[in-house]
């Protein structure tokens, strides 16, 4: 039930201001209730600066995708290959007004299809982000373990989830 006219393609440099804007909007909608507006603004300004997004676009061996309806970027994802050949999903965000109509599912499938030889997919999700955890469980991920991002104590409390892929 993916919306008609949904296009998924590699992100390009010209997309980055719109990608940044949709990430900031979606981060506030997702995390203000957990961390508060100010902390979310600090994190999203740092992580989603145009410089950081441009560096991610240049990274070899990764996927950085956008989903569009017409001219509007409605979702974005990124993933990379880990040393153990796992596909690590590093970002999956759908604009709030487009959530719940199948875009996240389609974008996740296309993102993981970029890694046809990966035996497993992994991701980290904020432990209080219950809608996302329910979505990933629906997509076949299971809870692997609880961790702190980067192993640090001052960063979000995350859950690691994993899904077996059927690589050859």
Q: Residues interacting with ligand COA, by CB under 6 A? A: 26, 30, 92-94, 99-105, 125, 129, 131-132, 134-135, 138
| Residue 97 beta carbon to ligand COA: minimum distance, rounded to whole angstroms | 11
Measured from the CB atom, the residue of 15 and 78 that comes closer to ligand COA is 78
| Residue 137 beta carbon to ligand COA: minimum distance, rounded to whole angstroms | 8
* Residue in the shown chain whose Cβ atom is closest to ligand COA: 104
Measured from the CB atom, the residue of 86 and 94 that comes closer to ligand COA is 94
Cβ atoms of 2 and 106 within 8 Å: the answer is: yes
Burial status of residue 16 (CB atoms within 10 A of its CB: 0-12, 13-18, 19 or more): buried
Measured from the CB atom, the residue of 69 and 168 that comes closer to ligand COA is 69
Among 159, 5, 8, smallest CA distance to 76 is for 8
Count other C-beta atoms under 10 Å from residue 5's C-beta.
8
Measured from the CB atom, the residue of 115 and 141 that comes closer to ligand COA is 141
Measured from the CB atom, the residue of 25 and 165 that comes closer to ligand COA is 25
| Residue 54 beta carbon to ligand COA: minimum distance, rounded to whole angstroms | 22
Cβ atoms of 62 and 86 within 8 Å: the answer is: no
Cβ atoms of 21 and 81 within 8 Å: the answer is: no
The runs of H, that is alpha helices, within 6-163 are 16-35, 37-47, 50-58, 103-113, 130-138
| Residue 4 beta carbon to ligand COA: minimum distance, rounded to whole angstroms | 15
Question: Which residues does 160 contact at the CB level (< 8 Å), separation at least 6?
Answer: 122, 123, 124, 143, 144, 145, 146, 147
| Residue 48 beta carbon to ligand COA: minimum distance, rounded to whole angstroms | 13
């Amino acid at each position: 039930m993916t919306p008609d006219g949904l296009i998924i393609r590699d992100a390009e440099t010209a997309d980055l201001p719109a990608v940044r804007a949709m990430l900031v909007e979606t981060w506030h909608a997702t995390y203000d209730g957990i961390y508060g507006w100010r902390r979310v603004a600090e994190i999203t300004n740092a992580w989603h600066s145009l410089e950081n997004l441009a560096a991610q676009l240049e990274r070899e061996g990764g996927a950085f995708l956008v989903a569009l309806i017409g001219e509007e970027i409605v979702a974005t994802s990124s993933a990379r290959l880990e040393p153990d050949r796992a596909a690590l999903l590093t970002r999956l965000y759908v604009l709030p007004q487009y959530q719940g109509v199948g875009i996240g599912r389609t974008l996740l499938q296309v993102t993981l299809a970029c890694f046809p030889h990966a035996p497993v997919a992994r991701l980290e999700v904020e432990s209080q982000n219950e809608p996302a955890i329910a979505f990933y469980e629906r997509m076949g991920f299971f809870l692997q373990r609880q961790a702190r991002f980067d192993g640090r104590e001052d960063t979000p409390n995350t859950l690691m989830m994993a899904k077996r892929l059927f690589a050859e």
